């Protein structure tokens, strides 16, 4: 399997290249289970947020969760909000929004329970995720948060992939190429 070598500060990781379309691959980045990388990335992102006062961190299920937890602790924000991908029985009044993300061909959604929506109304929010690729998940999170009256003051990620790497409205630590025909088997 072909690999892409990611260097992030003192850390190096070999990421497998995963086919997402004919001749197009992403470098699969799996933050879940990598406590060292999560902690390192959270420290770097916390530094970037030093001059951005905010009330809540918001992340998307699932790979953003450990990063948001580490960043929450480092920035002394004891609670963070997770946008879920399915409606749970305990939710009283779920707000949902459709998502198009690079890794799934089936319809996806982001869900925010009303209790969390109430918490976020009028609050300054930082969105955090592991990877921004097409930006579909980020865009959906933005729309959902705006619907419930939150104010997005920063968007942060470890990696920006493909065209997301040219965006100036995201704080990211590293860029990843999208791999074209040269990476086919």
Ligand X SMILES: Nc1ncnc2[nH]cnc12
Is the Cβ–Cβ distance between 169 and 142 less than 8 Å?
no
Which range binds ligand X by CB under 6 A, 22-30, 47-55, 87-95, 107-115?
Answer: 22-30
Single out the residue of 4, 25, 27, 40 in contact with ligand X (rule: CB under 6 A). 27
Is 98 within 8 Å of 108 (Cβ atoms)?
yes
Q: Among 42, 63, 70, 72, indicate the residue that binds ligand PRP (CB under 6 A).
A: 63
Looking at the Cβ atoms of 51 and 141, the one nearer to ligand PRP is: 141
Question: Is 161 near ligand X (CB under 6 A)?
Answer: yes
- Regarding 29 and contact with ligand X (CB under 6 A), the answer is yes
∠ CA 36-27-176 to the nearest 5 degrees? 85
CB 75 within 8 A of CB 47: no
Using CB distances below 5 to 8 A depending on partner kind, what does residue 29 bind out of ligand X, ligand PRP, none? Answer: ligand X
For the CA atoms of 169, 4, 16, 28, what is the dihedral angle to 10 degrees? 0
Residues 78-117 that bind ligand X (CB under 6 A): 102-103
């Amino acid at each position: 399997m072909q690999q892409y070598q990611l260097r992030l500060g003192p850390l190096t990781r070999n990421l497998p290249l995963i086919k997402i379309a004919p001749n197009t691959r992403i470098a699969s980045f799996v933050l879940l289970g990598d406590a060292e990388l999560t902690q390192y990335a959270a420290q770097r992102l916390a530094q970037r947020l030093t001059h951005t006062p905010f009330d809540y961190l918001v992340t998307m299920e699932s790979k953003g969760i450990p990063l948001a937890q580490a960043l929450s602790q480092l920035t002394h924000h004891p609670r963070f909000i997770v946008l879920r991908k399915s409606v749970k029985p305990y939710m009283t009044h779920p707000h949902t929004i459709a998502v198009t993300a690079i890794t799934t061909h089936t319809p996806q959604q982001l869900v925010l329970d009303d209790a969390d929506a109430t918490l976020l109304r009028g609050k300054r929010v930082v969105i955090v995720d592991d990877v921004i690729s097409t930006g579909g998940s980020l865009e959906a999170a933005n729309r959902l948060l705006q619907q419930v009256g939150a104010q997005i003051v920063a968007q942060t990620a470890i990696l920006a992939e493909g065209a997301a790497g040219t965006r100036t409205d995201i704080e990211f630590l590293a860029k990843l190429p999208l791999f074209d025909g040269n990476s086919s088997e």
